[in-house]
Amino acid sequence: MNDGYRLLVDRVWPRGVPKITAHLDEWAKDIGPSTELRKWFGHEPPKFTEFKKRYVKELKDRTDELDRIRSLARKQRVRLLYGAKDETHNQAVVLREVLLAKS
């Protein structure tokens, strides 16, 4: 299975996924939302709009990491992985928008 460079963008390791069997190329902890923001959000969809604003603000301080991911994406497909069950309300959705906005 080759679906590109698999990048986990969570600050914490996903529950129930053994590291030894995880199919990923890199765990980019530092690009994930801060612990404080992650705990505040709690994966509650009604908080997503505010979560997105706050996370985008955090990402403004991580330009080197964003540029590195964009550089990877110019060479190959990059798949952003996350541990949340909600496919619509999670940090990977926000991160993807930020990455594409300045590609």
Residue 1 has pLDDT above 80, yes or no: no
Task: Specify whether the CB–CB gap between 29 and 102 falls below 8 A.
Answer: no
Structural domain boundaries, residue 50: 5-101
Q: For position 29, what pLDDT does the model report?
A: 94
Q: For position 93, what pLDDT does the model report?
A: 97
* This model's pTM is above 0.85: yes
The residues, any chain, with a CB within 8 Å of residue 98's CB and separated by 6 or more, are 56, 59, 66
pLDDT in tens, 29-60: 999 999 999 999 999 999 999 999 999 999 99
pLDDT class of 65 with cuts at 50, 70, 90: very high
Residue 61 has pLDDT above 90, yes or no: yes
Residue 103 has pLDDT above 60, yes or no: no
Structural domain count, the chain: 1
Residues β-bridged to residue 26 = 7
Mean local confidence (pLDDT), 56-81: 96
